Amino acid sequence: MDDFPPTAKSRVKRLHQRAHYDRETIYRILDAGFVCHVGYGIDDHPYVTATSYWRDGDSIYWHGSSASRMLRTLKGGVPVCVNVSLIDGLVLARSGFHSSINYRSVMLFGKATALGDDQEKLRALEAFSERITPGRWDELRPPTAQELKATMVLVMPIEEAVAKERDGPPGDDEEDYTLDVWAGELPFHLTAGKPVPDPRLKPGIAEPAYLQDYELEGQPKGS
């Protein structure tokens, strides 16, 4: 895969050794998450909106109500900045200055457009469903024409991108390693709990296989 050449907009200046511009790293982080923050401007005011997303190839997608001011603004091709952040743990150093967080993050730049064709929308929504719960789409009632009309799906080809990561133990000042202060890492893992059936679930419907031992992509197994 080709790298995303860093520009004045995407180049990391602070702790630049943690930056990555290759598609493999950027897409690995994107595929480990499904909530992003979308930054944009409306009438000279900045806004940031949290939403779910999914990646397909060199583009990311998100969806919502056709009446959404955010989506109606973005479909016009305004510049967009999308951020995805995954928190992997606390880094507890022997000083507050060197205490930190282990994380994986991606910042994307591009312009979004709306999918206008119902079949394109259906394919995109199926990809999102299969991304989150593989195998569930075929079980669901198909969307109605009215539901599709009420739903807008945006696609943003990734024009520029940068990833930034931190992992591992604290990096204390050499003289601080002799201090009587506990130091190390406190890992965080996003895990799925036990499924809770809808109180109105029809009797006799078994828990689907895709919810048993559900694992979130990009998380350590058995965490």
Each residue's pLDDT tens digit, 29-49: 999 999 999 999 988 899 999
Q: What's residue 88's pLDDT?
A: 95
pLDDT at 221 over 60: no
Q: What's residue 90's pLDDT?
A: 97
- Around Cβ 75, how many Cβ atoms within 10 Å? 20
**What are the chain's domains?**
16-186 (2.30.110.10)
Q: Are 62 and 127 in contact (CB under 8 A)?
A: no
pTM assigned to the model: 0.89
As a whole-number percent, the residues of the chain with pLDDT over 90 amount to: 78
Q: What's residue 116's pLDDT?
A: 87
